[in-house]
């Protein structure tokens, strides 16, 4: 059993059942390669996805008493988006603790957006099982909602729309700062036609951010969102 003490301190939660934490960080590729590992994080990710939706709806409704259903839906979509979750996972340095198969590890799986998103949702599901609603909500508010709230506030202060169109937001921001128009470049395109994977880099002034997705458009959007969250 790995020692996850530093990670538990970072996320603000100490697990009673350490196996739940280890399972949340176990990618399927690791289980396939290790005969002694019986579980991976896919079931916990399924649970965590549902818990995430519940907590996001609950907290957003509580914090925005005047918002209508449409506004709440947009906010919920932003806070639970794959790129937002992957970014939060990077802040928590989850990639350093992921248990990956050799091939997945060598191909950059520790920083792959989909792996980080799944791991964060699995971690939330594990906390739900280990500590219940109160613990899960505390983790959500501290590590997901507060990060989103800060980015949301910065967007409002800069007169920018809130993460509905990150590419448009990034272009507006670049224009306000006198930068050249952001440039997007495909760094990698791999996989069969039915399961393509794109890695894209966006350059703004002297800064560069990478995003990935199953289409070029999705990867560009992911890269733009990371740039917005970091720069604004």
Which two three-digit tokens encode residue 4?
């996850």
Closest CA to 41 of 76, 107, 89: 89
Contacts of 12 (CB under 8 A, 6+ apart): 138, 139, 142, 143
Identified catalytic residue from 117, 121, 130, 220: 121
Residue 49 bears catalytic tag: yes
Closest CA to 170 of 210, 206, 223: 223
Residue 121 bears catalytic tag: yes
Q: Report the alpha-carbon distance of residue 70 to residue 88 in Å, rounded.
A: 25
Identified catalytic residue from 49, 118, 130, 220: 49
* Strands 183-190 and 207-213, bridge-based pairing: unpaired
Tell me which residues are annotated as active site.
Answer: 49, 121
């Amino acid at each position: 059993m790995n020692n996850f003490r530093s990670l538990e301190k970072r996320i603000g939660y100490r697990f009673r059942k350490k196996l739940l934490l280890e399972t949340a960080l176990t990618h399927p590729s690791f289980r396939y390669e290790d005969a002694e590992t019986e579980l991976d994080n896919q079931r916990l990710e399924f649970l965590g996805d549902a818990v995430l939706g519940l907590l996001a709806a609950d907290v957003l409704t509580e914090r925005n008493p005047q918002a209508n259903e449409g506004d709440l839906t947009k906010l919920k979509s932003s806070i639970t988006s794959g790129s937002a979750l992957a970014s939060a996972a990077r802040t928590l340095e989850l990639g350093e603790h992921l248990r990956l198969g050799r091939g997945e590890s060598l191909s950059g799986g520790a920083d792959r957006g989909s792996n980080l998103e799944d791991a964060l949702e699995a971690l939330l599901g594990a906390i739900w099982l280990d500590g219940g609603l109160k613990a899960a909500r505390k983790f959500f508010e501290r590590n997901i909602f507060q990060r989103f709230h800060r980015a949301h506030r910065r967007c409002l202060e800069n007169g920018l729309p809130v993460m509905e169109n990150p590419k448009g937001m990034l272009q507006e921001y670049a224009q306000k700062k006198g930068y050249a128009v952001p440039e997007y470049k495909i760094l990698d395109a791999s996989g069969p036609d039915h399961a393509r994977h794109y890695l894209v880099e966006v350059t703004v002034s002297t800064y560069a951010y990478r995003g990935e997705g199953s289409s070029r458009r999705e990867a560009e959007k992911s890269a733009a969102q990371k740039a917005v969250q970091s720069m604004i």
